[in-house]
Amino acid sequence: MPIVATAKRRGQLTGRGYVRIAVQNVIDVIRKFLVHAGERELRESFCGRGVELGRGILRTNCEGDEKEKKGGENLHFGFESKRAYHSVMKRVIQGIVAGLLFSILPLRGADYPAPTEGDYVLKNFKFVSGETLPELKIHYRTLGKLEKDTQGRTTNAVLITHGTTGSGGQFIRPEFAGELFGKDQPLDAAKFFIVLPDGIGHGKSSKPSDGMHAKFPRYGYIDMVEAQYRLLSDALGINHARLVMGTSMGGMHTWLWGETHPDFMDALMPLASLPTQISGRNRAWRRMVIDAIRNDPAWSGGEYKTQPPSLRTAAEMLWFMSSNPVLRQKDTPTLAKSDEALDKFVDQIVKADDANDFLYALDASRDYDPGPSLEKIRASLLAINSADDLINPPELGILEREIKRVPHGRAMMIPFSDKTRGHGSHTVAALWKDELIKLLQDSKIDR
């Protein structure tokens, strides 16, 4: 099937390269403003200052400025005196430079290339429910270059799938991509071809909020994995994966990948998930959100004009389940700070998300049940959970019991520490990347 929208090429610039250009442009704007305002004193104090970026320093180059501005009255924009004007302007410039530094610091060390984005449209996609969508769009991001051996088998493909209500873009962040995709890191983008898709109903892929609302097909995890498989095999020409991994919902997808396509990959690494049907508290909190939305009069059967209040309830529950109590107490030690943090998180969700999308995403887990077929998994598998995960609590003992049924499987529990983030530990790659290295080494030998 054809790729409907080709990927957006960005040349050879890395993520850091784009940031350097943006920062340099802002610096130049400040400098030119001072030149044309006739502010020699402020300009000279600004010139020569550097903004540290990665391994280099961006400095303001003021050569030739005097040719642009000769004489003229100083512009003090209504201030009572030149001194008052200078005082305010210095604080403004200092604030801008500080802001640049603050925004750049998380990107230091990001030596991986900027992702290439694209869309793949699957025609007449049939869901497990029996429903059909004439066109199902799957958005994706890739890093690196695909390689094949002499027999035409792909040798360096890596699939990484995201969690509920997330997207593939969530991995392009310092604590994940910054720990994994750079030079000589475990998934060095110069060596691997990394695929980060947006699942059905998520990100920029087809979803209820695109227009169908509650008439959108009722997709499930089996449908999501099938769409991912067809993206890799039909659109990207991948016939074998070096690694399939995922976080939370993506971790559950990883278990399903191992069962439905057992010979497709060398290694599997599900994070923050359990190889069993959604049940107990994990089912309860999802059901509570689903019921809150469906029973909300403002939901109007999915045909609301503004987001229903129940979306706030959904966001509050997500905040509650996604971290650990010790970290929450540390970050929000008072009633006022707790309310402030919760309100901030919820407001961000309400502005960016959609109630139907949220409802569908949680409901999709209803068909997840890898338990009966764990023995079918042939690839080397490493399951990683954290001891402070409220969604997959270690007290249940499910992972330790079920991993024994996976022929080449093993499990690891990250102990609680000041570095773990509850369920969100799955995206803090520094906690588990050494185990990923070992998995890749062992699976290469085994296969």
| Together in a domain, 30 and 126 | no
Residue 321 CA to residue 317 CA, distance in Å, equals 6
306 occurs within a structural domain: no
Instruction: Provide the number of structural domains found in the chain.
Output: 2
| Together in a domain, 382 and 421 | yes
| Together in a domain, 81 and 123 | no
In this prediction, residue 444 carries a pLDDT of: 78
| Together in a domain, 246 and 143 | yes
| Together in a domain, 129 and 271 | yes
Domain's final residue, options 68, 86, 107: 107
**Contact assessment for residue 249 and residue 167, using Cβ atoms and an 8 Å cutoff:** no
Residue 169: domain span? 116-280+364-446
| Together in a domain, 88 and 182 | no
Q: Please name the amino acid found at residue 221.
A: Y
Q: Evaluate if residue 22 carries a pLDDT over 80.
A: no
Q: How far is CA 382 from CA 234, 254, 305, 339, 371, in A?
A: 27, 11, 45, 38, 16
| Together in a domain, 268 and 410 | yes
Q: Residues with Cβ < 8 Å from 42, sequence gap 6 or more?
A: 34, 86, 89, 90, 93
- What is the average pLDDT score of the chain? 85
Domain's final residue, options 107, 139, 171: 107
Residue 21 binned pLDDT confidence (cut-offs 50, 70, 90): low
Share of the chain above pLDDT 90, in %: 73
Using a 10 angstrom Cβ sphere, with 0-12 exposed, 13-18 middle and 19 or more buried, the burial of residue 375 is exposed
In this prediction, residue 93 carries a pLDDT of: 62
In this prediction, residue 211 carries a pLDDT of: 97
Instruction: Give the model confidence (pLDDT) of 192-241 as tens digits.
Output: 999 999 999 999 999 999 999 999 999 999 999 999 999 999 999 999 99
Residue 434 CA to residue 389 CA, distance in Å, equals 20
Domain harbouring 425, CATH code:
3.40.50.1820
- Residue, of 362 and 8, whose pLDDT is higher: 362
Domain's final residue, options 75, 107, 139: 107
Q: Evaluate if residue 447 carries a pLDDT over 90.
A: no
Q: Evaluate if residue 283 carries a pLDDT over 60.
A: yes
| Together in a domain, 24 and 101 | yes
344 occurs within a structural domain: no
436 occurs within a structural domain: yes
Instruction: Give the model confidence (pLDDT) of 113-140 as tens digits.
Output: 999 999 999 999 999 999 999 999 999 9
Q: Evaluate if residue 82 carries a pLDDT over 90.
A: no
In this prediction, residue 396 carries a pLDDT of: 96
Q: What are phi and psi of 393, to 5 degrees?
A: -65, 135
164 occurs within a structural domain: yes
In this prediction, residue 52 carries a pLDDT of: 39
Q: Evaluate if residue 4 carries a pLDDT over 70.
A: no
Instruction: Give the model confidence (pLDDT) of 68-81 as tens digits.
Output: 444 444 445 555 56
| Together in a domain, 121 and 54 | no
343 occurs within a structural domain: no
In this prediction, residue 178 carries a pLDDT of: 96
Q: What are phi and psi of 364, to 5 degrees?
A: -60, -20
| Together in a domain, 103 and 120 | no
